[in-house]
Amino acid sequence: MASIFRPSVSLDLLRPKVTCTHLSTYERFEFQKKSLRKERLNVRFNGFKANTAQGSIEGISVVQEKEINNKTDYGVVGVHHVGLLCENLERSLEFYQNILGLEINEARPHDKLPYRGAWLWVGSEMIHLMELPNPDPLTGRPEHGGRDRHACIAIRDVSSLKDILDKAGIKYTMSKSGRPAIFTRDPDANALEFTQV
């Protein structure tokens, strides 16, 4: 099941050939920084010719390149994790581990926080499940998770995930735009989108 969470083939060409699940937390962070920079350059400089020998991009100035690469003074590199509230950690882990196939990051401080929780790998990022009271209403949420707060996870094959959710009897909706994406909710009504890349 975990194979549905691997990056797309096009992104694999940009990344070193390593398996993220066998990296330390520091190595994952470094891997993520390098991957994000390459992906950002690929998207932002589409149409410009890279001069890798001189380390610059033809068609833009060094100042413009610096502005594109670092729009913030504090250096945003990506999303580290998404925090989700849950009422019962075991019930949530049943969903995230046994249905979605996510693995726990044992290096994170599960026992050092004043509440129960778990950190789950999603590629090189994480979901942090926190067993805390939820201030949001659990009923009356939109049926389609795309019309609610949600986290989006990139996967390789939406149809495989659809089969998994069908087999588990979990409700979902398909993307309203027609793109290959599926929306579902975890046991605590947290909306999740899975988009095919």
**Per-domain boundaries in the chain:** 81-196
The CA-based diameter of the chain, rounded to the nearest angstrom, is 58
Helix or strand holding residue 121 (H, E): strand 117-122
Q: Per-residue confidence at 18, pLDDT binned at 50, 70, 90?
A: very low
The pLDDT of residue 112 is 86
Is the pLDDT confidence value at 192 over 50? yes
pLDDT of residue 80: 94
CATH 3.10.180.10 fits 81-196, yes or no: yes
- Is the entire prediction scored with pTM above 0.75? no
Distances (CA, A) of 142 to 41, 137, 154: 36, 11, 22
Give dist(CA 27, CA 110) in Å, integer.
Answer: 20
Q: What's the Cα-to-Cα distance from 65 to each of 15, 60, 70, rounded to whole Å?
A: 22, 7, 8
What is the model's pLDDT at position 70?
60
Identify residue 89 by its one-letter amino acid code: L
* Distance, CA of 157 to CA of 77 (rounded, Å): 26
Q: 30-68 pLDDT, tens per residue?
A: 666 665 555 544 444 444 444 444 555 556 665 666 566
pLDDT at 47: 47
> What pLDDT, in 10s, does the model give residues 89-124?
999 999 999 999 999 999 998 788 999 999 999 999
Residue 139 has a pLDDT of 87
Percent of the chain at pLDDT above 70? 63
